[in-house]
């Protein structure tokens, strides 16, 4: 996972920054206290019916692309809000709807930042606890690293027969250019207030002590990741979770065999299971959107877009 990214080279849409400053890694991981979904102005999203009928409803939420709260600019059109903000907005709307009976969490992501993954996971867990509803996750092409982290909020996890998942782990990307700089006759000579202020500098190799400090931090974040997976997969022993948490990616079939997911199946199978698990076999499936229409079936995106006004 990327506090960093599990599969950072999968940044297909340019929504992840090329690097993440080290101080950001030291930010608080957990949101203190409980999330309140009450109060505040509500986003101007509207409900789109995807299938079914009746007052009882299930909400489709997308985790698609790199997990980050960075908005994505669409030139000459508008901007997509960051994933963390969008998911939170959708949950706020769903919180005020007494007819929401559960969430279908559709995941297609290579991973993302540790903090954003944790915020989305934490928000889903609080929503589930507060509303007393069920969540089923359905994995698409890829659900790796931070996507696995978020999936742990689900009561059950489905994966498409061709899904690639796993990549449980933490990485801090680091490049070092001191050899090139020496050839070019360039020298870095920073003035700092302490011996570790320029830790992680790309202009010199890290010292043994600096590497030890960074490794301790990464290991601490990794243990938190493991704790979330162990909580979300109670049928797996701690040793089973740790054995597969070496960064490897695995197929859906292997993930089911190891207990990381519950079933190999299609999105429709996951939705049918959600309706049965929640006890509302006859209900509507909806998503939230605003002015950007992306279709009206179970495979439609939930992304809203804010248009520029010229």
Catalytic residue set: 145, 197
Dihedral sign for Cα atoms in the order 82, 84, 87, 93: negative
What tokens appear for 123 in the block?
A: 């928000």
């Amino acid at each position: 996972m990327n506090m960093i990214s599990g599969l950072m080279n999968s940044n297909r849409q340019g929504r992840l920054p090329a690097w993440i400053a080290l101080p950001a890694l030291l930010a608080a991981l957990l949101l203190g206290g409980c999330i309140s979904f009450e109060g505040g102005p509500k986003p101007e999203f509207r409900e789109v019916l995807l299938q079914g009928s009746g007052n009882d409803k299930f909400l489709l939420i997308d985790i698609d692309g790199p997990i980050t709260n960075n908005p994505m600019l669409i030139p000459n059109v508008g901007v997509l809000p960051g994933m963390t903000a969008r998911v939170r907005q959708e949950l706020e709307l769903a919180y005020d709807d007494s007819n929401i009976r559960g969430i279908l969490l559709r995941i297609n992501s290579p991973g993302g930042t540790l903090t954003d993954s944790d915020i989305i996971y934490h928000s889903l867990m609080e929503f589930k606890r507060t509303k007393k509803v069920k969540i089923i996750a359905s994995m698409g092409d890829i659900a790796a690293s931070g996507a696995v982290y978020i999936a742990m909020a689900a009561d059950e996890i489905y994966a498409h027969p061709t899904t690639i998942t796993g990549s449980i782990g933490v990485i801090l990307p680091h490049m070092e250019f001191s050899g090139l700089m020496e050839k070019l006759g360039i020298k870095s000579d920073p003035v700092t207030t302490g011996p570790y202020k320029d830790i992680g500098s790309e202009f010199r190799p890290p010292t043994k002590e600096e590497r030890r400090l960074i490794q301790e931090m990464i290991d601490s974040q990794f243990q938190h990741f493991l704790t979330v997976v162990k909580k979300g997969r109670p049928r797996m022993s701690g040793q089973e979770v740790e054995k597969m948490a070496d960064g490897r990616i695995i197929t859906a079939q292997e993930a089911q065999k190891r207990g990381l997911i519950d079933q190999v199946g299609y999105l429709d199978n996951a939705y049918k299971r959600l309706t049965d698990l929640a006890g509302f076999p006859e209900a509507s499936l909806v998503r939230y959107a605003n002015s950007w229409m992306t279709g009206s079936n179970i495979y439609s995106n939930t992304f809203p877009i804010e248009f520029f006004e010229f």
